[in-house]
Structure 1
Amino acid sequence: MTSIPGIPAAAQSTRLAHLDAHTYRDWAVGEHSTVLLPAGAFEQHGPHLPLGTDAILSTAIAEAVGSRIGAKVAEPLSYGYKSQQKSGGGDHLPGTVSLDAAALIGQARCIMAGFLAQGIRNLVVLNGHYENYQFLYEAADLALADAGAGHGHGPQPTVLLLSYWDYVTEGTLATVYPDGFPGWGIEHGGVLETSLMLHLRPELVALDRAVSHPPAALPRFDRLPVVASRTPDTGCLSAPDGSDERKGALLFEQVTAELSGDVATELGLPG
């Protein structure tokens, strides 16, 4: 980020946690004040990726978007809704520590309502954990009600909710998966997340521990309790075969550019 003369470095950061309270107070009541709230999970991603992968990726993307559109980034929601067997391997696997629906909704609602009550005009919830989505939606709806949105006169606050993978284009998928995209349902600990981590936080990736195996073959229904043997022993639903930093750079640049443009256009921000 380019330094702006005369403004403390902390105030130029995209991270709200780096700001002092008075700088935040003055910024929050601005016409275009926008906070990006990353959401992830504490979830196993096989033997080669860290437990914090979802929050790490959503936060990095939020910071890149924030620097493009003049938004600030809140501290991430680092625990998410229960990992499900068909999208995250399952809540039964060691290393995964989850919130139930009420806890996630309550935490996210309090955070969103707090920002809205302090004058933040726009909130953008940037999700990085598939299972979170509908509970973040509920939290946003309740937080807007808490803020009295839709009542009274004058500008009204806005919340946008999105998952970063929805911005991956068909062209990018064709490059990242030259042998064909296996589908989002089994992209857990696979090529997309591994490549992004190799680009953004390579020191946290143990590619020598990655295991090649067929994608998970899961039924079209959910069974509770889960049949643990249906999840591959690695905890990954597809193998990270073919992952590399170049693919991660392509994914990161393409997603952040399109996401920034979409958000800036929707909210009338510079982008």
Structure 2
Amino acid sequence: MCNVKLENMDWISYREAIQDGRCRIILPVGAIEQHGPHMSLNPDVLIPSHIAEQVAQQCDDVLVAPAIAYGYKSQVKSGGGNFFPGTTCVSGSALEQYVYDVLMAYVNHGNREFVLINGHFENSMFLCEAADKLVKQCTLRGLEVRVYLLSYWDYISEETIAKVFPDGFTGWAVEHGGILETSIMLEIHPALVDMDRAVHVDPATFPPYDVFPADPSWVAESGTLSSPVKATAEKGRLILDECLKGIARQLRSA
């Protein structure tokens, strides 16, 4: 397998690889956030990073940049909130500026096309802002730059969902630390998952509003928004296979 991780290259090899702007740079963006007592704090970083590296292996002229690990604030109704030790977040403005600065540095190297793979739902709009700002600033400089923004879960079909959740899917909103993420981690980083510590919880239910300061009682003590106990590596392989094929297919046709 060829080396696709940008940080493992020497600067001369990197310069040759990106000559004439022919390389696309994939930038995984995640978060450090609790995912229950059964799993490490970094699935939102490890999952998009794994997908990025696997996709890059299947496509020509693609390099994977080091992931941005710190994401936007965990929200109660999508990530359990900021009540749990280990969840380490930044403001939206900080994330937007950081992603923008990193992408602009790669533009200054000569790169012109980027793919942001998001692994943390709360990041989405701030990544949009960073991409939009980058394109506008580059246009003012007479540079044609393109940024693709995607979240890996958008490539999972209803057919696959039915196989992963044979008892019924309770929805994406409560999948934090549940079957989907746990299954993927069992496949790619099983040493970071301890299913003996997995806690069954009923799918979270929330009122149709947010409140500030946030109310810890809205979230189960485990921190997960649904039960991970039926997660398996086999389900993780099924999910990843579809995500990888879909994203690679899109990049090859873009």
TM-score, normalization by structure 2: 0.96
Q: Does 1:122 align with 2:113?
A: yes
Deviation at 1:93, TM superposition (A): 1.9
Residues 128-207 of structure 1 mapped to structure 2, 5 A cutoff: 128-148=119-139, 152=142, 156-207=144-195
Of 46, 58, 62, 2:52 maps to 62
Distance 2:160 2:216 in 1: 33
Q: Which amino acid aligns with 2:117?
A: L
Residues 16-165 of structure 1 mapped to structure 2, 5 A cutoff: 16-70=6-60, 71-148=62-139, 152=142, 156-165=144-153
Distance 2:221 2:97 in 1: 33
> RMSD between aligned alpha carbons?
1.2
Query: What do the CA deviations read for 1:196-228 (whole angstroms, capped 9, x no partner)?
Result: 000000011011000011111111111111111
Q: Does 1:257 align with 2:248?
A: no
Query: 1:7 maps to what in 2?
Result: none
Query: 2:204 maps to what in 1?
Result: 216
Q: Which amino acid aligns with 2:125?
A: Q
CA contact 1:189–1:236 (8 Å) conserved in 2: yes
CA contact 1:168–1:254 (8 Å) conserved in 2: yes
CA contact 1:55–1:128 (8 Å) conserved in 2: yes
Query: What do the CA deviations read for 1:175-211 (whole angstroms, capped 9, x no partner)?
Result: 0000111100000000000000000000110110000
Query: 1:5 maps to what in 2?
Result: none
Secondary structure, in 3 states, of the residue corresponding to 1:257? helix
Secondary structure, in 3 states, of the residue corresponding to 1:148? helix
Deviation at 1:31, TM superposition (A): 5.0
Q: Which amino acid aligns with 1:212?
A: H
Secondary structure, in 3 states, of the residue corresponding to 2:139? coil
The farther-off stretch of 25-34 and 108-117 is: 25-34
Q: Percent identity?
A: 40
Deviation at 1:42, TM superposition (A): 0.6
Secondary structure, in 3 states, of the residue corresponding to 1:138? helix
Q: Which amino acid aligns with 1:43?
A: E
Q: Which amino acid aligns with 2:162?
A: A
Name stretches of at least 5 consecutive residues in structure 2 with no aligned partner: none
Query: 2:213 maps to what in 1?
Result: 225
Deviation at 1:142, TM superposition (A): 1.3
Deviation at 1:241, TM superposition (A): 2.5
Query: 1:269 maps to what in 2?
Result: none
Deviation at 1:147, TM superposition (A): 2.2
Query: What do the CA deviations read for 1:91-138 (whole angstroms, capped 9, x no partner)?
Result: 122210100011101110000111112111210000000000100111
CA contact 1:40–1:129 (8 Å) conserved in 2: yes
Q: Which amino acid aligns with 2:198?
A: A
Distance 1:28 1:259 in 2: 21
CA contact 1:46–1:234 (8 Å) conserved in 2: yes
Name stretches of at least 5 consecutive residues in structure 1 with no aligned partner: 2-11, 267-271
Distance 1:190 1:58 in 2: 17
CA contact 1:113–1:146 (8 Å) conserved in 2: no
Runs of 4+ in 1 over 3 A off after TM superposition: none
Distance 2:253 2:147 in 1: 14
CA contact 2:195–2:229 (8 Å) conserved in 1: no
Distance 2:198 2:20 in 1: 47
TM-score, normalization by structure 1: 0.90
